[in-house]
Structure 1
Amino acid sequence: MPARQFDLRGLAPGQGPSKRHVASVVDGVDEVVVQGPVQALAAVLNRLWRTERLPAVPVGWEPADDAASRGLARALDLGSGAERELPLVRDDHGGVLLAAGRVTALGEQRAVLSRRFGAQAYADSTLVANGPVTRIDVRPDWTAVDRISVAVVQLPLRPVRRTTGRALQIASEPVQVLRDGVPFDREVTKWTWYADDRVRWRLRP
């Protein structure tokens, strides 16, 4: 049976697909090809995880022509080699992260990149933030298995503290979170990203 084509190329930057729309297309398929940006692929993988169909359903991806999609396609070595089982980075609010996550102060993104917020953060057992910071960036590390990269910016134009680990736990003043460019729908004071070593997904080249 041919793979189901799921066209989400019309998503605007910072917009995630409707959960109902994703469910109506993805539920019941044996294979799916996602057409669109990173957040489209993340939404499909999240639905497959929630319905306990990872890694049974292989996923293909035809990325959009934006910087995040091109970067992730290169990191995944998309279009080469055989089908692969890959790790999945999740968060404790029910989401999936594929390219980049960011924690900042509340407000418009352009304005908050120089605004600080109080936070304490651990990458595994390493204290990476303890006091005012400007932002915290997280990326899945596709060169390793079950690992994320963390960058903590305390002040703009100052050295960035970088580390790697399996999980990042943050406790902070009220902040906003971006998952693959899509804002989380409410402010939070606690957040965890982690590479879930119990979960794998199948990428079709």
Structure 2
Amino acid sequence: MGGIVLACGTSIISPAVLARAGLEQHRIVPVPARPGKSDVDAELAKAADRSDGPGADVVVAGTDADLAAVALRLLRRDRLGVSVGYVPTARSACAALWGLPTDTERALRLAATEQPHGVPLIRDDVGGVLVGVGTLRRVDGIAYCDDDMVLRGTAHRIDVSPDTAGGPGLTVTLRYRRFGRQRRTVRGRAFAIGCEPTTPVLDGVARERTTERWTWYRHTEDLLLVRPG
């Protein structure tokens, strides 16, 4: 089995570690954090579409934001048929969602031996994707999940993530007060909000600009993530 390991940012993966994990035929490709078109498209073009059998064609070693950046390039190239493994190098909401190991060797071994499964790929209305969690803090506005109004007024925090329960696509958790226990969780295909200016935090990275409108929605095709069955 051949493929590539994208070592993002300061991530270091050695050939010896790959060999112990069963990925000795994968090439290590160092790329910047949150790699873009010029960093990974040529490598992704060489990746094979999913064939039957275990293991990942592309392994991403880095943060949730790095994985999202690679997923976006696969989406843009119409290559979501490529199976992806993930080796988190920092605290990872994506790993927690899908039960992925956070130890490097264990994560590599899983990427080499487990089957890929489709997981919801969440897009936003400014051209990005979300693989872990997106957060809006201290919001004041009106929000909908599909056709249902889920907020009119203020909330301390809203978290949106892929739905792990096989539902329509995404999970929305609203926390109304900072120290209160009152919260609400809903599921749907899309979430949209109009509000006072707020800064979305996307897979751990704050957006550079504030926004008064934001939408997350499930893409029509899933991300093929190698994960425990």
TM range (shorter): 0.7 to 0.9
1:107 is matched with none
2:44 is matched with 26
Shift of 1:178: 0.8
Letter in 1 for 2:96: G
Identity %: 32
Inter-CA distance 203–121: structure 2 relative to 1 (3 Å threshold) = same
- CA distance in structure 2 between the aligned counterparts of 1:178 and 1:149, rounded to whole angstroms: 16
- CA distance in structure 2 between the aligned counterparts of 1:75 and 1:142, rounded to whole angstroms: 13
2:192 is matched with 169
* Count of residues paired in the alignment: 188
Inter-CA distance 164–156: structure 2 relative to 1 (3 Å threshold) = same
- CA distance in structure 1 between the aligned counterparts of 2:33 and 2:129, rounded to whole angstroms: 12
Contact 1:88 1:96 in 2 (8 A): yes
- CA distance in structure 2 between the aligned counterparts of 1:162 and 1:2, rounded to whole angstroms: 41
Letter in 1 for 2:115: A
Q: 2:134 aligns with which of 81, 101, 105?
A: 101
Shift of 1:200: 2.0
Is 2:56 aligned against 1:39? no
Shift of 1:3: 0.5
- Residue correspondence of structure 1 range 1-205 to structure 2 within 5 A: 2-8=2-8, 10=10, 17-19=34-36, 20-23=38-41, 25-30=43-48, 31-55=57-81, 57-68=82-93, 70-74=95-99, 79=110, 81-104=114-137, 116-158=138-180, 159-196=182-219, 198-205=220-227
User: What secondary structure is seen at the aligned counterpart in 1 of 2:70?
Assistant: helix
User: What secondary structure is seen at the aligned counterpart in 1 of 2:200?
Assistant: strand
Shift of 1:25: 4.1
Q: TM-score, normalised by structure 2?
A: 0.72
1:112 is matched with none
Query: Which one has a bigger Cα radius of gyration?
Result: 2
- CA distance in structure 2 between the aligned counterparts of 1:141 and 1:86, rounded to whole angstroms: 8
CA displacement, residues 140-195 of structure 1 (integer Å, 9 cap, x when unaligned):
11221442111122221220122111110111111100111011221111111112
- CA distance in structure 2 between the aligned counterparts of 1:145 and 1:95, rounded to whole angstroms: 22
Higher relative contact order (CA 8 A, sep 6+): 1
Moved more, 65-74 or 175-184: 65-74
Shift of 1:69: 5.3
Moved more, 131-140 or 22-31: 22-31
Inter-CA distance 73–163: structure 2 relative to 1 (3 Å threshold) = closer
Contact 2:155 2:176 in 1 (8 A): yes
